Amino acid sequence: MRKEDFELLSKILKERSGLVLSEDKVYLLESRLTPIARKKGMETLDDLINEIRLRRKEDLLREVTDAMTTNESFFFRDNTPFDLFKEDVLPALMKNRANKRLRIWCAAASTGQEPYSLGIILKEMETQLSGWKIEIIGTDLSQDVLDKAKAGIYSQFEVQRGLPIKLLMKYFTQAGEMWQISEDIRNMVTYKPYNLLDSFGMLGKFDVIFCRNVLIYFHQDTKADVLNRLREQMPEDGTLFLGAAETVLGLTDKFKPVSGKRGLYKTSEYMTQALKAG
Amino acid sequence: MKSCLVVDDSKVIRKVARRILEELDFDIREAVDGQDALNACHDMLPDVVLLDWNMPVMNGLDFLKALRASDGGDKPVVVFCTTENDMSHISAAISAGADEYIMKPFDREIIESKFSQVGLI
C-alpha cells in the first residue's frame, strides 16, 4: 500500500472513530477493506481508495470505519470481570440502591456477547433481584455489529468461546447451523449506535460501565479524555471495568484500580473515602 | 501435571487434540473407542476424558454411562467432543453425566475455554 493511501485511511479512521492505526497494521487494512472493494464490484483495494479520495461518500466512509473498528468478542470474555460483577459489584449495589434501580452501560458492546453475558448473570439471579429494574445499554460505533447484537444469532464457534454448555442449553435455541439467544435475554438489552468521541450527556448516569478493549485503539490524549468523561457518567460509588491489558495509570486521576480486583476501577473520591473509613 | 484421555476413532483428531492439550500441559493417553477407553480407565483414572460420540465397538455415550457407574468413575471430568451438534444429543450427554460439550470442528481456543470452565486450567 502506498504511503499516501495509508495516511489517507488512517486520517479518516482517526477523525471518525479515534482509532489509531500504526504502519504495521497495513495488513489489517488490506484484509478488512478488500472484501468491501469486492462487494462494490471493484477490482482492487486501490480502486476503493481512489473512490474514497475522489468522492468521500458518507456511507462508504462509514462502512470502511465499521470494518476497521469491529473486533471479535466472546461470551464471558476473560471471566474475571463477570465474576467480580456478580460477586462484588452487584451485592454492594443491591445494598446501596434503595430505589432498586440499576443502569449498566457496555460502551463497546460489539456483537452483544458482553451485554448478554451480563443479562444471563442477572437472569440467573432473578429471585434475589425480584422487584429490581435493571437497564443494560449497549453502544457501539458500528450499526452493523449492533444489528447482529440485536438479532442475537451466533455461529457454533461463537457460542463455544466462553459460554458454558449448560447456559447454552438454557438460553439458546438452535436455528440451523446458528444459535439464537432467547428473547428474554435479548429484551434485557437496549442497543444504540454511539461514538465514544461524542458527548455522553444524552446517555445519563450509570452504576456500572464496561469499557473493555476499546481504549487500546486510541491515542493517549483520546484515552484520557474518554476516561475523564466516563467519570462524569457515574455516581461516586460507580464502577468502571477496563480490559485486562488496559490501565488508567498516567491517563487520569479520576479512577483508581482496586487491588486484587483486576480490571475493576472505582472513582478517586470513593477510594479516598474507603481509605478513611479503614 | 493433569492427565487427559483422548478418545476418538480418528487418528487425525487424536493427534490434533494431543498437540493442543500437551501445549496446555496435560499428560496424554489415547483410546480408539469406548471399550478401549474403559480399559484405559481401569488401568488408571485420568483427570479428564475428551470424548468422541460415534465410534465402533462402543460409542461415547455408552462409555460415559459405564464409566459413571464404575468404582471411582464419578471423578474424571468428561468433555464430549463430537460432530453431533443438536440440542437432543447435548441434553442426552449432560444427563448421562458429561461436564462439558464441544461441537466439532474445534480449535485451541475452544478447548482452552471449555477446559477452563470446568476448572481444569
Alpha helices in B1-121 (DSSP H): 11-23, 34-43, 60-69, 87-95, 108-117
* CB proximity list for B106: less than 8 A, separation 6 or greater: A160, B81
Residue of B nearest to A167 (CA): B100
What is the complex's ipTM, to 2 decimals? 0.93
Residue range A239-256, pLDDT digits in tens: 999 998 899 999 999 999
Q: For all residues of chain A together, what is the average pLDDT?
A: 93
Q: Which residues of chain B have a CB within 8 Å of the CB of A179?
A: none
The CATH code belonging to domain A3-69 is 1.10.155.10
Q: Which residues of chain B have a CB within 8 Å of the CB of A166?
A: 94
Question: Are A164 and B85 an interchain contact pair (Cβ–Cβ within 8 Å)?
Answer: no
Question: Are B94 and A157 an interchain contact pair (Cβ–Cβ within 8 Å)?
Answer: no
Cell of A191: 442497543
Instruction: Tell me how close the Cα of A1 comes to any Cα of chain B, in angstroms.
Output: 32
pTM above 0.90, yes or no: no
**Out of B87, B102, B114, whose CB is closest to A169?**
B87
Residue of B nearest to A78 (CA): B113
Question: Are A162 and B110 an interchain contact pair (Cβ–Cβ within 8 Å)?
Answer: no
Instruction: Answer for the pair A238, A264: CB distance below 8 angstroms, yes or no.
Output: no
Q: What angle, rounded to 10 degrees, do the helices at A45-55 and A58-69 form? A: 130
Question: Are A161 and B109 an interchain contact pair (Cβ–Cβ within 8 Å)?
Answer: yes
How many CB pairs below 8 Å do chains A and B form together? 33
Give A141-199 as a 3 state SS string: CCHHHHHHHHHCEECHHHHHCCCCHHHHHHHEEEECCEEEECHHHHCCEEEEECCCCCC
What class, spelled out in words, does domain A80-151+181-277 have in CATH? alpha beta
| DSSP three-state, residue B79 | strand
Residue range A59-98, pLDDT digits in tens: 999 889 888 877 678 899 888 999 999 999 999 999 999 9
Q: Where are the domains of chain A?
A: 3-69, 80-151+181-277
Adjacency order of strands within the sheet including A172-175:
A153-154, A178-181, A172-175
Residue range A222-231, pLDDT digits in tens: 999 999 999 9
Sorting pLDDT into bands at 50, 70 and 90, what band is A217?
Answer: confident
Distances (CA, A) of A278 to A90, A131, A207, A266: 22, 33, 23, 16
**Predicted local distance difference test score (pLDDT) of residue A71:** 67
Residue of A nearest to B80 (CA): A165
**Predicted confidence (pLDDT) at residue A124 exceeds the cutoff of 70:** yes
Residue of A nearest to B109 (CA): A161
